């Protein structure tokens, strides 16, 4: 956990204090020397140096203002004829800071021009021409080196900031895409559950009408029809509860791109989305190039329509991912069984040829599977296998055994 002081990182504040302390130390060195015409003593010199040291404390937040203050103090020093002093290190620090931290590089360029003039003025106090030129070259090289070093650090800092901003933007986009995928999948699940509930209601109406007509002529058949109505109603009520859970946070659905998602209730493609049609689904993926082995052991003959549809969609999405990522020719195993829960396992060896590139799906297949499994309080585990390839395992709690007549109706 990072600590702050006055809204700034504590580490940065400590470093700035250390820099100012270095300038104060140079003041002590200056005042400790014997007073001469070039290096005077007294409180005025110490006061100018101390003002520079205090100004440097604010060099990160207000680099241009600090550079202006330090330059003004240095001008006072030149006009007083004191010559270059050890605490003039503050001038180089202020120049470095304005180039590195200023919002506009123009401020750094202006500070460099002012520093060049200051170099000439400081060197002019050296006296003889040879000494003047030598001093000017020396000061110019030092000042130019500091300016270029600050420019290099500024360029790298801005580059790193741009990378961080780009990474943050990509992260926000991925989160937005994931939310859109969840919304779209929930809308699709809701439509399918609506169809399941509508089918159950139609069964109830047909059975209730039959019971009404047979109540006097065949009471036993009528009683059985009423039982079917009750069982179907309970099942429909449970599916309706799941539908409400899916729609608990209503959001505008994304446009569907899967033909199964928009098929009308009476479309044969929608009617085939059941466990009984998994062999046909596996056959289509075999035709696409996967070597698929399918086995189902101890799977109940009948499942609630919504759970039936969920198993089909999970297998469909897992095979699609295997074809996309493992590639044509990969060995895939699809297994259904009962281990207290209904277990669906789809594994591949990841050793297919060049993976196919079907139409983009947004890369959120696992998101969709997780949403579907969550509707039925199931668990999804997906990840790489130790020997290579990928495995998807889904566990779905089994409901109480439904009346066969409900499904047959």
Q: How confident is the model at residue 258 (pLDDT cuts 50, 70, 90)?
A: very low
- Percent of the chain having pLDDT more than 90? 7
**Where does 207-326 show beta strands of DSSP type E?**
291-296
Whether 148 contacts 333, CB under 8 Å: no
| C-alpha R_g of the chain | 39
Instruction: Give 321's contacts (C-beta < 8 A, 6+ positions apart).
Output: 365, 366, 390, 392
| Distance separating alpha carbons of residues 334 and 94, to the nearest angstrom | 69
Q: Tokens in use for 202?
A: 């139609």
Q: How confident is the model at residue 293 (pLDDT cuts 50, 70, 90)?
A: very high
**Where does 4-78 show beta strands of DSSP type E?**
4-5, 8-9
For residue 344, the model assigns a pLDDT of 92
pLDDT, tens digit (0-9, with 9 covering 90-100), for 187-200 = 777 776 666 676 66
Whether 346 contacts 391, CB under 8 Å: yes
Over range 216-223, report the average pLDDT: 79
Phi-psi region of 398 (alpha: psi -120 to 50; beta: other; left: phi over 0): beta
Q: How many residues does the chain have?
A: 409
> Does the pLDDT of residue 324 top 70, yes or no?
yes
Residue 345 three-state SS: strand
For residue 4, the model assigns a pLDDT of 60
Nearest alpha-carbon partner for 147 in 110, 172, 199:
110
- Report the run of H or E that residue 333 belongs to, with start and end: strand 331-339
- Lowest average pLDDT, out of 145-159, 201-215, 296-310, 333-347, goes to 201-215
| Distance separating alpha carbons of residues 222 and 216, to the nearest angstrom | 8
For residue 257, the model assigns a pLDDT of 36
Q: Tokens in use for 402?
A: 């439904």
- Lowest average pLDDT, out of 238-252, 266-280, 308-322, 338-352, goes to 238-252
| Distance separating alpha carbons of residues 167 and 163, to the nearest angstrom | 6
Nearest alpha-carbon partner for 91 in 77, 106, 105:
77
Q: How confident is the model at residue 359 (pLDDT cuts 50, 70, 90)?
A: very low
Give the residue, 38 or 409, on which the prediction is more confident: 38
Residue 346, beta-bridge partner list: 334, 392
> Does the pLDDT of residue 131 top 80, yes or no?
no
Over range 329-347, report the average pLDDT: 90
Q: How confident is the model at residue 175 (pLDDT cuts 50, 70, 90)?
A: confident
For residue 265, the model assigns a pLDDT of 38
**Where does 61-146 show beta strands of DSSP type E?**
none
Over range 316-331, report the average pLDDT: 85
For residue 3, the model assigns a pLDDT of 66
Residue 363 three-state SS: coil
For residue 347, the model assigns a pLDDT of 92
For residue 200, the model assigns a pLDDT of 67
Whether 330 contacts 351, CB under 8 Å: yes
> Does the pLDDT of residue 259 top 50, yes or no?
no
- Report the run of H or E that residue 225 belongs to, with start and end: helix 219-246
pLDDT, tens digit (0-9, with 9 covering 90-100), for 267-285 = 434 445 788 889 988 988 8
For residue 392, the model assigns a pLDDT of 92
Over range 384-391, report the average pLDDT: 86
Over range 242-265, report the average pLDDT: 47
pLDDT, tens digit (0-9, with 9 covering 90-100), for 85-121 = 888 888 899 999 999 888 888 888 888 888 888 888 7
For residue 345, the model assigns a pLDDT of 92
- Considering 155-159, 223-227, 267-271, the range whose residues carry the highest mean pLDDT is 155-159
Name the packing angle between helices 129-214 and 219-246 (round to 10°).
170
pLDDT, tens digit (0-9, with 9 covering 90-100), for 23-63 = 888 888 767 665 554 555 567 788 888 888 888 888 888 88
**Phi, psi angle pair for 396, to nearest 5°:** -120, 125
Q: How far is CA 355 from the centre of its chain?
A: 26
| Distance separating alpha carbons of residues 184 and 365, to the nearest angstrom | 12
Contacts by 322-325 with C-beta closer than 8 Å and gap 24+?
322/290, 322/346, 322/348, 322/390, 323/285, 323/288, 323/289, 323/290, 323/355, 323/356, 323/358, 324/355, 324/356, 324/357, 324/358, 325/350, 325/355, 325/390
Q: How confident is the model at residue 334 (pLDDT cuts 50, 70, 90)?
A: very high
């Amino acid at each position: 956990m990072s600590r702050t002081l006055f809204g700034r990182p504590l580490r940065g504040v400590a470093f700035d204090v250390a820099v100012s302390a270095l300038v104060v130390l140079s003041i002590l060195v200056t005042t400790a020397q014997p007073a001469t015409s070039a290096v005077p003593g007294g409180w005025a010199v110490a006061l100018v140096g101390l003002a520079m040291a205090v100004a440097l404390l604010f060099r990160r937040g207000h680099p241009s203002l600090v550079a202006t203050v330090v330059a003004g103090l240095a001008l006072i020093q030149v006009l007083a004829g004191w010559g270059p002093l050890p605490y003039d290190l503050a001038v180089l620090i202020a120049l470095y800071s304005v180039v590195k931290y200023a919002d506009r590089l123009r401020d750094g360029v202006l500070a460099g021009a002012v520093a060049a003039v200051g170099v000439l003025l400081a060197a002019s106090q050296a006296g003889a021409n040879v000494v003047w030129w030598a001093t000017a070259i020396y000061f110019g090289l030092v000042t130019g080196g500091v300016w270029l070093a600050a420019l290099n650090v500024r360029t790298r800092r801005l580059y790193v900031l741009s990378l961080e901003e780009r990474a943050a933007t990509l992260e926000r986009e991925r989160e937005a895409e994931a939310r859109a995928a969840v919304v779209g999948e929930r809308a699709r699940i809701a439509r399918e559950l609506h169809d399941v509930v509508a089918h159950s209601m139609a069964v109830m109406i047909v059975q209730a009408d039959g019971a009404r007509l047979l109540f006097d002529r065949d009471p036993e058949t009528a009683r059985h029809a009423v039982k079917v109505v009750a069982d179907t109603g309970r099942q429909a009520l449970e599916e309706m509860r799941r539908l409400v859970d899916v729609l608990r946070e209503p959001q505008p659905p994304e446009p569907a791109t899967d033909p199964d998602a928009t098929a009308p209730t009476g479309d044969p493609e929608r009617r085939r989305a059941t466990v009984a049609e998994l062999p046909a689904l596996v056959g289509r993926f075999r035709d696409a190039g996967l070597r698929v082995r399918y086995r189902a052991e101890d799977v109940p003959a009948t499942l609630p329509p919504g759970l039936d549809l969920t198993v089909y969609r999970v297998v469909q999405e897992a095979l699609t991912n295997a074809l996309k990522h493992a590639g044509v020719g990969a060995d895939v195993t699809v297994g259904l069984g009962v281990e207290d829960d209904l277990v669906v396992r789809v594994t591949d060896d990841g050793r297919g040829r060049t993976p196919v590139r079907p139409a983009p799906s947004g890369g959120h297949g696992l998101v969709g599977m997780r949403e579907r499994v969550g509707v039925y309080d199931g668990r999804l585990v997906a990840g790489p296998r130790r020997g290579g390839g990928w495995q998807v395992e889904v566990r779905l709690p089994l409901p109480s055994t439904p009346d066969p007549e409900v499904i047959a109706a």
